Amino acid sequence: MAQIDHLGIAVKSLATAKSIYEKLGLTVSPEETVEQEQVRLVMVPVGESRLELLEATSENSTIANLSPNVARVFTTFVSKFQICERRFAAEE
């Protein structure tokens, strides 16, 4: 069965976004910087999935140059597949 591992959301201010999720009572991970992607991020667990909040650290970052038509929100669905050994065994 497929499930969403995480949903990436580009935000203008990571500090502001973190504050909103913390006020909702959700746990926010410590900030991480991913140099090669030129972003800072945090993860917010929601059920069995996570929200990944991303802030650009450079004008050259992919998320820094999103079209205004997408309201500066960038989402990425990352599917996580669970392998059921019984299903494969039944197909053999």
Residue 2's pLDDT band, with cuts at 50, 70 and 90, is confident
3-state secondary structure of 5: strand
Q: For residue 29, what pLDDT is reported?
A: 97
Task: Please state the domain extents for the chain.
Answer: 2-91
Decide which of 31 and 77 is more confident.
Answer: 31
Express each pLDDT in 37-51 by its tens digit.
999 999 999 999 999
3-state secondary structure of 11: coil
- What residues pair up with 44 in beta bridges, in sequence order? 51
| Domain 2-91, CATH | 3.10.180.10
- What residues pair up with 33 in beta bridges, in sequence order? 40
Q: What is the DSSP string of 23-88?
A: HTT---PPPEEEGGGTEEEEEEEETTEEEEEEEESSTTSGGGG--GGGTT--EEEEEEEPP-HHHH
